[in-house]
């Protein structure tokens, strides 16, 4: 079964540094998402992306965050100047042809981001 892959599995970064989290969605999927889970808290939606633009973002997704699909396979999340509170597990997900209409999202293994 095709999978969503994320790299790295664990990223340790100094506060204030930029970090890029990488995802390779399932190849024929068109909708891409980032979620995060702070330790002990709920999985939270960050952003959705379709047709090379952000389709929706949460209040968490402020100017420090950006997403990009630089080529036909990768989907990246960049945090420009990391803060301690950005420490979390970040999950990438993708879904198929029809956005809201009945396509479940497939998740990657996640990247654990630790800010020191």
* Centroid of chain to Cα 95: 13
Q: Pick from 33, 61, 75, 90: which binds another protein (CB under 8 A)?
A: 33
Is residue 48 part of the contact set for another protein (CB under 8 A)?
A: yes
Residue 91 neighbours by CB distance under 10 Å: 23
Residue with tokens 């929706």: 56
CB of 52 closer than 8 Å to CB of 67 = no
Contact region with another protein (CB under 8 A), list: 14-22, 42-50, 60-68, 69-77: 42-50
At its nearest, how many Å lie between another protein and the CB of residue 39? Answer: 12
At its nearest, how many Å lie between another protein and the CB of residue 56? Answer: 5
Is residue 49 part of the contact set for another protein (CB under 8 A)?
A: no
Say if residue 58 is exposed, middle or buried (CB neighbours under 10 Å; 0-12, 13-18, 19+). Answer: middle
Site residues (CB under 8 A) for another protein? 4, 31, 33, 35, 41-45, 48, 55-56, 58, 91, 93, 95, 99-100, 102-110
């Amino acid at each position: 079964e095709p999978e969503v892959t994320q790299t790295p599995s664990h990223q340790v970064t100094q506060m204030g540094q930029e970090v890029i989290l990488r995802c390779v969605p399932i190849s024929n999927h068109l909708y891409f998402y980032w979620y995060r889970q702070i330790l002990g808290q709920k999985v939270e939606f960050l952003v959705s992306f379709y047709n090379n633009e952000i389709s929706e973002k949460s209040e968490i997704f402020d100017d420090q965050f950006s997403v990009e699909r630089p080529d036909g396979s990768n989907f990246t999340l960049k945090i420009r100047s990391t803060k301690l509170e950005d420490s979390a597990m970040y999950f990438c997900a993708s879904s198929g042809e029809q956005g809201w209409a009945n396509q479940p999202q497939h998740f990657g293994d996640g990247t654990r981001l630790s800010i020191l």
